Amino acid sequence: LPAAVLLKDTKLMDVKLGQLGSWLAMRDFTPGGILGAIRRGHERYYNKYINVRKGGLGGLSMVLAGYIILSYMWSYSHIKHDRRRKYH
């Protein structure tokens, strides 16, 4: 039998739908808590994809794909304007 885990220590994917409200009430939504969550997420990403002993192209390709998507979003209005022109 698995040991009983406190609701505060439960991961989001393991929380039942009826417990979601009380689980959210236990989260730290102060600026320091949000900054800590962002920092933990960055460290998890960095250790999983960037700082590995036997590296691959996974992390680098994700960063490159993110850059491509952002640059497309930034230039979308210009691309949309050029698309409607008639060349004749």
pLDDT category, 82, cuts 50, 70, 90?
A: low
The sign of the CA dihedral 48, 49, 55, 57 is: positive
Residue 14: pLDDT over 90:
no
- Position 68 scores a pLDDT of 94
pLDDT category, 1, cuts 50, 70, 90?
A: very low
pLDDT category, 83, cuts 50, 70, 90?
A: low
Angle at 58 between CA 52 and CA 59, to 5 degrees: 70
Distance CA 53, CA 72 (A): 33
Q: Which of 6-10, 11-15, 60-64 has the lowest mean pLDDT?
A: 6-10
